Chain A
Amino acid sequence: MARTITLDHITKIEGHASLKVKVDKGKVVKCELGSTEGARFFEGLVVGRPYDDATEMVMRICGICSCGHFTASLKALENAMGVKVSKQTQAMREIIVIGERIRSHATHLYFLALPDYMGYDSALAMAPKYKKQIKDALIMMKTGNEIVTAFGGRQMHPMGGRVGGFTHYPSPEQIKELIDLLRQCEKPALDTLKLFCTLKYPELSVEREHLSLLQKHDFPLLLGDIVSDTGWRIKEKDYGKYFTEYVDRWSTAKFVVKKGKSFMLGALPRLNNNLPSLSKDIQSILKKAKISFPSKNPFHNNVAQAIELLVWVRRGKKLLESYTKGFTREKITVKPKAGTGVGVVEVPRGILFHTYTIDEKGYVTKCNIMTPTCQNLKAMQEDVKIYLQQLLDQGVKKNEVPLEIEKLIRSYDPCFSCSTHFLKVDWEE
């Protein structure tokens, strides 16, 4: 492969982040948040490969959202080649993504976020005292996992689907089992929402654009225009035009800005932009808890995720119930065609953007991917600065600051949330 490859940008991040702040006379003068994960160059690696290989390879970007990368790349490749998929294929993709969303949110809420608010080091340490809560988390994670496995053939990096459709169909018995599992999840999901409504979130309000997909009467998943809470609205294919990527020396993850400004993606923007689709019972729970949406407090992303958890458990069940007789095996016929296509989907952490250019034989000639964490990075960095200043002004003790900052970063559920558990605040005074 001795070829010169031009990469538009580097691939995505998950593991390790660091933060550097500088405080001068009680004022935060410098704040650098970034990823220190090794570079992996996925977009360069798929060039020259047949389109189906590209999907298989880009899924490896992320273990938590592999189904997200799977659906985004399929959508982009299908748009590039003008392939239309059946209603059934679309439904199957939705279910697999719902499965992933349930396990991702449950993992984040219980294993990454909750211990901070309960004063524990980890969910493992919470287990003896909070048996029910951990059991709830595990049943939801298991359910999500079973859904992904039933439709994707394996629990991570699904192999059951490709451009044009699926190669693997769950049996009616499997579907029945999944419906049963989802039924068992309803109470835990409801309890999760109630639990996260009782947690005490720090006060923080940041004026910033919230972006998400828009879907009528329901929460967005794979379809819809891109909207912001300021009323801005564009079509999926135009997504790339509005955003610029830049690099800062402290991070191997690129920063993404919209007309020079930061923006937020994720469960909170999805909720803020799709409030009318919220069911009555959820509205009354929120009312009782005195949490009102739309909210500009990034800590409320946790509540938004808990709401989504319940929404997805219910929607997943409903979707599966319309296929209790099983799925019809469909023949996949795809003719390679030259073109460029964009695929925008909602993944647990926000909008995921894929675009590919395909040549007439079906080989990838260009690929660009923007993950939600890169797009949220600038917002996170700015929020850390604002929140840190707020903490300093309130006279919060220096040794309490790191946990507070970590809580903020984790509330975004970034793909390097794991690494922020390592977070070392490097004070320069």
Chain B
Amino acid sequence: MKTKLGQDILCHRADMNDHLSRLRDKRAKGQKLKVGVFGITGCAGCQLTILFSEKFPALMDMIDILAVPFVKEQNYKGHFDIIILEGLVSSKADKEKAEELRARCDLLMCIGACATHGCVPAMKNFMNHPEVERAVYAKVDYLNSLDATPVSKHVPVDIELPGCPPDANQIYAVLTDLVLGRPPRITHNPVCVECVKREVDCLLLQGKPCLGPITVGGCDAICTAAGHECMGCRGPTDDANLPAMIQALQDQGYKRKDIENRLHTYASLLVDEQAKMQGVKWEKKLKRKKNG
């Protein structure tokens, strides 16, 4: 059931068209969609992205936001049309919460790199973390720490909007699509496409370690437009050519070790999977540790 980023994911869910027609019916009856915004382990930045957005008042008019524990005391306990979820699963409590929320909505929409790819915390999977935990705590049993994984590793996810933080305009656009009952437009082009659109001078050609060519766009190339190379916070595209990317950066004079670390910063699990498929051998010993 795992949905892949970068594809027209909604077309791949057999029941998606049913969902969309139900959403259209609701609209025809003048009913607003019931939406909840929740968070599990993370930095709250994704929820703040929604709150800080200029579109927030418009969003409130468009949908019924019935639960946001971040800013609400009383939260709707029933079933939602859409649940927007931020954060990754890194403890038993997270897993249970994700399962509970999945069961309480028609469409589960994960926002942010933690929820979609595991973000920076997922790097702990590549360290020997029981030892790490023991170094920090005398007793580790109560931590109930699990591998740090994206939500889709545990429950089926309908829509994934990546990014650290995710793009407020994209969240708004996708919600608008859902309100209208049409398949959401989610780009699967690499960041380079958006750089060209914005006429940003290529940072890779300037010798910066930019991951734009292999990273999913939809962010409007905000980092590269600000003169900072793309760090890959939206995860790799499905057709990311890892060997070529690594070679290009090595040709610029970057060390293999640093390149590998960089590739693993925001989407370590997916990058690792893709590397296996493309026959990339990590020079650094990035061996996945299994923990229970």
Contact = CB atoms under 8 A, between A and B. Distances in A.
Dominant SS among interface residues on chain B: mixed
A327 interface: no
Given A45-B123, A159-B228, A2 B48 contact: no
Interface string A394-429: 000000000000000000000100110110000000
Residue of A15, A42, A127, A415 with most partner-chain B CB within 10 A: A15
Interface in A24-39: 36-39
B15 to A, nearest CB: 31
B227 interface: yes
Contacts of B93: 16, 36, 38
Given A40-B121, A168-B227, A156 B165 contact: yes
A40 B125 CA distance: 11
A141 B46 CA distance: 15
Interface in A46-64: 48-50, 53, 56-57, 60-64
B251 interface: no
Given A15-B39, A41-B132, A138-B57, A63 B90 contact: no
Interface string A143-159: 00100000011111101
Interface residues of B, number: 72
A50 B70 CA distance: 35
Contact of A421 (B69, B124, B146): B69
Interface in B109-154: 119-121, 123-124, 126-129, 131-133, 135-139, 142-143, 145-146, 148
Nearest to A111: B71
Contact of B225 (A16, A44, A107, A153): A153
Given A122-B72, A252-B143, A63 B46 contact: yes
A338 B138 CA distance: 32
Residue of B121, B123, B129, B228 with most partner-chain A CB within 10 A: B228
Residue of B52, B126, B286 with most partner-chain A CB within 10 A: B52
B100 interface: no
B94 A38 contact: yes
Contacts of A240: none
A211 B122 CA distance: 35
A107 B73 contact: no
Contacts of A10: 136-137
A103 interface: yes
A365 to B, nearest CB: 15
Interface stretch (B6-14, B24-32, B177-185, B258-266): B258-266
Interface in A126-151: 127, 138, 141-142, 145
Contacts of B65: 124
Contacts of B121: 38, 40-42, 45
Contacts of A37: 41
A125 B136 CA distance: 42
B135 A7 contact: yes
Contact of B48 (A44, A125, A156): A156
A107 B43 contact: no
Interface string B225-254: 111100100000000000000000000000
15 contacts: A4-B131, A10-B137, A37-B41, A38-B88, A40-B90, A40-B124, A40-B148, A42-B120, A44-B124, A60-B45, A63-B165, A156-B48, A157-B165, A168-B227, A418-B71
Given A38-B91, A138-B56, A168-B228, 17 more contacts: A1-B123, A1-B126, A3-B127, A5-B135, A38-B121, A38-B146, A40-B41, A44-B124, A62-B45, A125-B72, A154-B226, A159-B222, A160-B227, A167-B227, A247-B137, A418-B44, A421-B70
Interface of A: 1-7, 9-10, 14-16, 36-42, 44-45, 48-50, 53, 56-57, 60-64, 66, 103, 107, 111-112, 115, 121-125, 127, 138, 141-142, 145, 152-157, 159-160, 162, 167-168, 247, 249, 252, 415, 418-419, 421-422
